[in-house]
Amino acid sequence: MTRSERLQQDGFEFLHAADTRAWLEQSGSLTDWPEFAASWNGMALDQYMADGGRYRRRRHAVFAAPVGDVAIARAPHQPHYQTVEYNPLHGGIERWFEPVPETIANGASMRTILRACRALFDSLSPGTSWHIETHQFRIEARSDEAGKPTPEGLHRDGVDYVLVLMIDRENIASGTTTIHGLDKVPLGSFTLTEPLDAALVDDSQVYHGVTAVRPLDPARPAHRDVLVVTFRAAQPQAA
């Protein structure tokens, strides 16, 4: 069974790092991976945390992938928006995050990831123009505050497809990704532990969430870094 067939049938797929690398490298190189991973350092705090938490840092970038053999292009910086239906905790407002640096957005690793996702999601939804959003997330954990990768809990993102890619874990316990059907029945779980471990999600078929993380050693810094990439069909332009 192909990757697209598994995703279509089950609504999700978990990939170990070696499998992710083999899939991604069909679409390009990861030659700048050390610089790519290091770019998670120094991100600003997420100022929109409705639970009052100070544990999430993030950056954001938007891309467009028109139908056909057209290169993926970065779009002007813009807010991230979700409806309250999909994100009761943070939905209904425009959230402006620090932009992903141009060197990272146009670097080999990011472009390879975007091309690989596009090829896969094109096979599932041929003839679609894609609105793509990328999110760099760092979730920090301290002895007095657990880090919540998904503070909104079990959720859908209101898109078509999602990639969650592990970048780094430092001094972290837990952080298990869980998948549930539309009836909320558990379908699977997987802990992203190694760089390039990944989860692919068909957002129309399943809910997903991640358990809170805590430090293994409370005296040391602890964080969980992931890249989240979402693809949704672009709205047609008005005539």
Percent over 70 (pLDDT), the chain: 97
Residue carrying the six token digits 């991100």: 43
Residue 112 lies in a domain: yes
CATH number at residue 36: 2.60.120.620
**Do the domain assignments include residue 7?**
yes
What is the spatial distance between Cα 64 and Cα 207, in angstroms, rounded to a whole number? 25
Cβ pair 233, 122 in contact under 8 A: no
* Residue 159 maps to a domain: yes
Q: How would residue 237 be classed by pLDDT, with cut points 50, 70 and 90?
A: low
Q: Residue 192 is which amino acid?
A: L
Query: How many Cβ atoms are within 10 Å of 38's Cβ, its own excluded?
Result: 13
The pair of structure tokens assigned to 6 is: 């598994």
- Inside any domain, residue 125: yes
Q: What is the pLDDT of residue 238?
A: 43
pLDDT band (50, 70, 90) for residue 96: very high
Q: Is 239 within the bounds of a domain? A: no
User: Which domain, by its residues, includes 140?
Assistant: 3-233
On whether residue 225 sits in a domain, the answer given is: yes
Torsional class of 158: left (φ above 0), alpha (ψ -120 to 50), beta (otherwise)? left
In total, how many domains does the chain have? 1
Q: In which band, very low, low, confident or very high, does the pLDDT at 235 lie, cut at 50, 70 and 90?
A: confident
What pLDDT sits at residue 86? 67
What CA–CA distance (Å, rounded) separates 151 from 49?
A: 9
Mean of all residue pLDDT scores within the chain: 94
231 and 121 Cβ atoms separated by less than 8 Å = yes
Asked if residue 238 belongs to a domain, the reply is: no
CA distance 125 to 123: 6
Q: Is residue 95 part of a domain?
A: yes
Q: What is the mean pLDDT of residues 80-102?
A: 85
CA torsion, points 40, 44, 47, 48, in degrees to nearest 10?
-20
